[in-house]
C-alpha cells in the first residue's frame, strides 16, 4: 500500500463508522513498515468516552498490537487535522510523521470547534475558562522525587 491508500483507509473508516452511528466523521490508521498496525475511528458517543477520538483509538490499537508504548518508526494517517488532545497523544506516542485530510477549519465549519481548545491551551493558566488550582505541591513533589531516584523505572 502507498500513502494515498493509507489515507483512503482512514477516510473510509471515518465514513463507515459515522454511517454506522459509532461517532463523528473521523478515522485514523497507524502504519509501520508499509503495513497498517492500528486503526481507529471516533467512538466518543458510542463508548461515552470523550477521549475516544480516532487518533487516540488508533494509537491504542497499534500499541496493543505491537506490545509497546512507543510508536517510533510509525506514521499516523488521519482524516482530519488532530485536536490538541490527539496531537499531544501523537507526540507522546513518538510517531515519526502525521498525514491528515481535513483541516481544523473544515471541522469548525461543521461545528467541531477545536479552535476553542487550541485557544484555551495558549492562555496562561489563570486566564483559562477551566479553573485550575494547585494543591499539596510538597506531597506531590515527594512522589516525583521517588520516581527520579527509582533505579528500575521504565522511562518514557
**Measured between alpha carbons, how far is 98 from 120 in angstroms, rounded to an integer?**
23
Neighbour order of strands in the sheet with 27-32: 35-41, 27-32, 74-80, 97-102
Strands 27-32 and 74-80, by their bridges, are antiparallel
Instruction: Using the structure block, give the residue that is written with the C-alpha cell 485550575.
Output: 132
CA angle, 89 then 2 then 78, to 5°: 25
Cell of 47: 463508548
| Residue 32, H or E segment | strand 27-32
* Catalytic residue selected from 4, 12, 39, 55: 55
* 75 flagged as catalytic: no
The residues annotated as belonging to the active site are 55
Amino acid at each position: 500500500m502507498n500513502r494515498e491508500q493509507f489515507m483512503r483507509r482512514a477516510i473510509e473508516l471515518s465514513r463507515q463508522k459515522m454511517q454506522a452511528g459509532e461517532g463523528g466523521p473521523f478515522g485514523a490508521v497507524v502504519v509501520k513498515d508499509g503495513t497498517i498496525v492500528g486503526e481507529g475511528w471516533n467512538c466518543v458517543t458510542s463508548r461515552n468516552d470523550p477521549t475516544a477520538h480516532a487518533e487516540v483509538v488508533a494509537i491504542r490499537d497499534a500499541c496493543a498490537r505491537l506490545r509497546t508504548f512507543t510508536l517510533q518508526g510509525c506514521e499516523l494517517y488521519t482524516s482530519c487535522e488532530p485536536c490538541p488532545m490527539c496531537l499531544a497523544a501523537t507526540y507522546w506516542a513518538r510517531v515519526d510523521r502525521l498525514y491528515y485530510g481535513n483541516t481544523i477549519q473544515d471541522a469548525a465549519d461543521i461545528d467541531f470547534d477545536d479552535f476553542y481548545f487550541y485557544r484555551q491551551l495558549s492562555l496562561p493558566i489563570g486566564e483559562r475558562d477551566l479553573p485550575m488550582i494547585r494543591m499539596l505541591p510538597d506531597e506531590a513533589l515527594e512522589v516525583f522525587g521517588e520516581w527520579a531516584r527509582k533505579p528500575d523505572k521504565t522511562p518514557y
